[in-house]
Amino acid sequence: MMHKYKISEAKNCLVDKHIAFIGDSRIRQLFYSFVKIINPQFKEEGNKHENIPFEDRISSVKVDFLWHPEVNGSMKQCIKVWTEWSIKIHNGSNEALSQYKTNITSIAPLLEKLAKTSDVYWVLQDPVYEDLLSENRKMITNEKIDAYNEAAVSILNSSTRNSKSNVKMFSVSKLIAQETIMESLDGLHLPEKSRETSAMILMNVCCNKILKPVDGSCCQPRPPLTLIQKLAACFFTLSIIGYLIFYIIHRNAHRKNKPCTDLESGEDKKNIINTPVSSLEILLQSFCKLGLIMAYFYMCDRANLFMKENKFYTHSTFFIPIIYILVLGVFYNENTKETKVLNREQTDEWKGWMQLVILIYHISGASTFLPVYMHIRVLVAAYLFQTGYGHFSYFWIKGDFGIHRVCQVLFRLNFLVVVLCIVMDRPYQFYYFVPLVTVWFMVIYVTLALWPQIIQKKANGNCFWHFGLLLKLAFLLLCICFLAYSQGAFEKIFSLWPLSKCFELKGNVYEWWFRWRLDRYVVFHGMLFAFIYLALQKRQVLSEGKGEPLFSNKISNVLLFISVVSFLTYSIWASSCKNKAECNELHPSVSVVQILAFILIRNIPGYARSIYSSFFAWFGKISLELFICQYHIWLAADTRGILVLIPGNPTLNIIVSTFIFVCVAHEISQITNDLAQIIIPKDNSSLLKRLACIAAFFCGLLILSSIQDKSRH
């Protein structure tokens, strides 16, 4: 993966450094492209056959081009590179190649000596496009260039005895030229785009080990294990050993209960013993499996074991998979168990197809295409809408504000992310969606749990209590508006310790404020929709029988027409967006239009409400795990690239990595559910003791994390 260096990053990396490009016109091209990363306004001017200096005095960066087209006595003084001019000057003779080998041999020890204290790169010669070469360059052939390159590589690699040469071969420009030289204007010099890529790769080679960008996968060492990661590795290792011991003991005990032979019939008679699975066994088994899964996570995205590649967006890489999964989703359909609006099967289906679309969006790099980006923002908003709708409905109908319910939800939402924060050494805010739904769940809980607690059973159709609940929602909306337009107050709240440890990213909470603000109203919209829907349902205004339209035929047709028009209007507006910042500013207020339109289109017709896609619903049940796991075992470099398990075969690679990714997500979902039953007991006294232990664990984790941060700085 190649990191695209910004001007500030390049200057920061090269501060107080002196870089020299020595060679002919093609090295001069590389020099110009390299300098333009530091200063895009630098002009290609001056005598072509002279030295060209560049200096950025603010950052004290000095880059020089030294004109030495041949390996001769003059170059020996500078200790550098040969290029194509040697072939031209000597008319491509074999004597020139022999002399070149002699000259390379004489400067090789000097290059090795220089390479002990500086980085020295020998740029292999690019191929030419012989059909476009002018008459005075016809003697430059790819066959001769290959001979010169082979000679340079052979001599430089054999210049040191019993050790590897310190002079590094820069061959990437040659590889790029093999694909793009036919676009050259003169058959000799690379097109501008190709040379810019070569220069950017050279910048990666020089700077990745200094700045350590996540999406620059070459030329930097594997990050050292932190103390927390080492402790996690020990814990999972002990869990695996503990489970294996438990399994062996259990198997030996089972063998003692061998089937006995019935003396009368002569047949084996089995001892039927139903041994219940103990909580300890489930606990050890779950942590054993989780330990193996986390080892895979680490190998994929931290150990530099597998390759990674950059994303390149095309319309076909996004829309063709979308059509494919749509066909599969329609093909696998079943009848719903109930025909209520947003029933469980339907919400699972909704989550499923949205998650699959988001996954395709991420792996195809479609965020660069603004219309797709705006529609994906609606899908993220729809997840949060379901958060508001689902949790409000539960608390309103059940009236269960107990600590067990809160702990269950928080555990299921956060368990995987907390483990990944520890194993992958990433801040909590990095997995931004989980902090978002966690905070909104707590907001919903506090809003409804605070005095006066108003639930459906208490209200019982009483307008006074309904009005009281609407006042609560109005106050919530007021708080949302205040925080949305008061960045300072928002940042002060979330910059307090220990909240700062959870919500800071790169030393500040701006990213968290941006994410929260982008969908600030949609959870409120979900709560309000749930309240209105449940009130209408209580008064039996809706017809939710099988095959029945939600309202009378006339009202249903009108609402369907309005919904379709609203849905298409939003899509037209999103597709016509020109400025991401301006569209993001409008998004919080208008995203609910398309969400409500979809809900009505999906639920007004009785036949649509009576069926669901089991294919999408299956993925919907593990949507959270899919969203989080993609960061490290499907995508790579913290979502900036694509994981490559099978190099050279993109189709097979995506099939294999996707299969593993989905299986892992499903397994983690099962592990989370199993552990939730054990770690979060229904008995309040036991639960409080567990919470005290969990609080102590997190305090220790925060302290260790703070110590690590200080040691890094």
Q: Write out pLDDT tens, residues 153-211.
A: 998 888 666 567 888 899 888 889 988 989 998 998 889 899 899 999 999 999 998 88
**Who's near 699: CB < 8 A, 6+ residues apart?**
none
Clarify whether residues 195 and 315 are in a common domain.
no
CA distance 373 to 365: 10
CA distance 450 to 532: 21
Clarify whether residues 171 and 81 are in a common domain.
yes
Average pLDDT over residues 16-28: 89
Of 48 and 621, the structure prediction assigns the larger pLDDT to: 621
Residue where one domain finishes, among candidates 211, 229, 247: 211
Residue 378: predicted pLDDT: 97
Average pLDDT over residues 685-710: 87
pLDDT digits (tens, 9 = 90+) for 613-653: 999 999 999 999 999 999 999 998 888 899 999 998 999 99
Residue 84: predicted pLDDT: 38
Please tell me the total count of domains within the chain: 2
Which residue in the list 93, 186, 486, 552 is annotated as catalytic? 186
**Tokens at 186, concatenated:** 């003169």
Clarify whether residues 312 and 183 are in a common domain.
no
Q: Is residue 52 part of a domain?
A: yes
Residue 113: predicted pLDDT: 82
Would the pLDDT of 81 be above 50? Answer: no
Residue where one domain finishes, among candidates 211, 238, 257: 211
CA 404 to chain centre: 32
Distances (CA, A) of 568 to 572, 588, 595, 669: 6, 18, 12, 36
Residue 367: predicted pLDDT: 92
Q: Is residue 261 part of a domain?
A: no
Residue with tokens 């009576």: 610
CA distance 582 to 157: 56
Clarify whether residues 564 and 436 are in a common domain.
yes
User: Between the CA atoms of 8, 12, 15 and 17, what dihedral angle is there, to the nearest 10 degrees?
Assistant: -100
Average pLDDT over residues 82-111: 70
Which residue in the list 68, 189, 525, 632 is annotated as catalytic? 189
Active site (annotated) includes residue 186: yes
Clarify whether residues 22 and 138 are in a common domain.
yes
Closest Cα to residue 352, out of 375, 386, 318, 319? 386
Across the chain, what does the average pLDDT equal? 89
Of 585 and 253, the structure prediction assigns the larger pLDDT to: 585
- Residue 604 near residue 561, CB atoms below 8 Å: no
Q: Is residue 263 part of a domain?
A: no
Of 573 and 91, the structure prediction assigns the larger pLDDT to: 573
66-70, 322-326, 455-459: segment of lowest average pLDDT:
66-70
Q: Is residue 357 part of a domain?
A: yes
Clarify whether residues 389 and 490 are in a common domain.
yes
Q: Is residue 693 part of a domain?
A: no
User: Containing domain of residue 186, as a range?
Assistant: 7-211
Burial class (CB in 10 A: 0-12, 13-18, 19+), 636: buried
- Residue 298 near residue 236, CB atoms below 8 Å: no
Q: Is residue 703 part of a domain?
A: no
Clarify whether residues 536 and 623 are in a common domain.
yes
Active site (annotated) includes residue 375: no
Of 97 and 515, the structure prediction assigns the larger pLDDT to: 515
Q: Which three-class secondary structure string do you get for 543-610?
A: CCCCCCCCCCHHHHHHHHHHHHHHHHHHHHHHHCCCCHHHHHHHHHHHHHHHHHHHHHHHHCCHHHHC
Would the pLDDT of 275 be above 50? Answer: yes
Q: Is the CA virtual torsion 341, 346, 351, 357 positive or negative?
A: negative
Clarify whether residues 488 and 616 are in a common domain.
yes
Average pLDDT over residues 416-425: 95
Average pLDDT over residues 392-420: 96
Would the pLDDT of 83 be above 50? Answer: no
Res. 346 pLDDT band, cuts 50 70 90? very high
Return the half-sphere exposure (C-beta side, CA atoms, 13 A cut-off) of residue 99.
14
Strands 18-23 and 61-67, sheet pairing: parallel
Which residue in the list 25, 106, 367, 610 is annotated as catalytic? 25
Distances (CA, A) of 467 to 326, 463, 464, 543: 43, 6, 5, 25
**Tokens at 455, concatenated:** 């639930």
CATH number at residue 168: 3.40.50.1110
Active site (annotated) includes residue 3: no
Clarify whether residues 311 and 397 are in a common domain.
yes
Average pLDDT over residues 82-102: 64
Clarify whether residues 291 and 194 are in a common domain.
no
Of 507 and 283, the structure prediction assigns the larger pLDDT to: 283
Q: Is residue 469 part of a domain?
A: yes
Residue 609: predicted pLDDT: 93
Residue where one domain finishes, among candidates 211, 231, 251: 211
Residue 162: predicted pLDDT: 59
* SS3 call for 4: coil
Residue 259: predicted pLDDT: 57
328-332, 539-543, 621-625: segment of lowest average pLDDT:
539-543
Q: Is residue 672 part of a domain?
A: yes
- Concatenate the DSSP letters of all residues of 297-357 into one string: HHHHHTSS-SEEEE----HHHHHHHHHHHHHHHHHSEEE-S--STT-HHHHHHHHHHHHHH
Res. 75 pLDDT band, cuts 50 70 90? low
Would the pLDDT of 268 be above 60? Answer: no
- Residue 111 near residue 165, CB atoms below 8 Å: no
Give the helix/strand (H/E) hosting 495: none
